[in-house]
Amino acid sequence: MRLPRQHEQRQACRPTDPGRQASPARPRRGGPRSLTAAALAAAFLSSGAAPALAQHAQPAPTAPGAGAPTRVHQAALPSSTVEKAISAAESKKGTPYGWGGTGPDSFDCSGLVQWSFAQAGVDLPRIAHDQVREGTRVSYSDARRGDILYWADGGGYAYHVAIYLGGGRMIDAPKSGDQVRERDVNRYNLAGAVRL
């Protein structure tokens, strides 16, 4: 059986634990089956258990809009900052993929995104799924140069990220045995983009 190309990225970014990418600097919090407050509230409501308790389990809205993820920046990054991040990523073309790699000598997908934006003065979390919560989500058709593209599984967990270069091209650290490189956007399981 031939697997789709994106399967390789999933294996590279989520090799053994479907809940998290490598994060040597942070302790693991929760697991792939941990429930959110909203899921707990739904479970209470569907089981007929105390509606008042379920109502209190709803997460509080976050700025800038109700239910929106917390943003690193309140306005889109200036183009000069975006270009610095892209230049940093491009300077690492040919650097080998390394699971859990945060640079400068090896990178995994989220390590490259984090390192590149750090060179432009933007602080991002380490994990792909956490990175896509840092900005405003946009569809791929609305993506701009410098947006973070992300791929997600059926449950919405972001397992791969890349920096969009425009014109259907991106730069990323794709998988084990590969290297940081520019390539066409692979639209298989592409969930969208995040604008910082």
Q: How many CB atoms lie within 10 A of CB 11?
A: 15
Given the residues 13, 108, 109, 129, the one annotated as active site = 109
Question: Do residues 33 and 111 make contact, with C-beta atoms less than 8 angstroms apart?
Answer: no
Given the residues 13, 108, 130, 160, the one annotated as active site = 160
CA-CA-CA-CA torsion sign (36, 40, 46, 50):
negative
For residue 172, indicate whether it is catalytic. yes
Question: Do residues 83 and 164 make contact, with C-beta atoms less than 8 angstroms apart?
Answer: no
For residue 7, indicate whether it is catalytic. no
For residue 13, indicate whether it is catalytic. no
Phi, psi of 151 (to 5 degrees): -115, 140
- From residue 112, give the alpha-carbon distance in Å to each of 116, 121, 173: 6, 14, 7
- Alpha-carbon gap, residue 121 to 78, rounded angstroms: 12
Phi, psi of 144 (to 5 degrees): -120, 160
Q: Which residues are catalytic?
A: 109, 160, 172
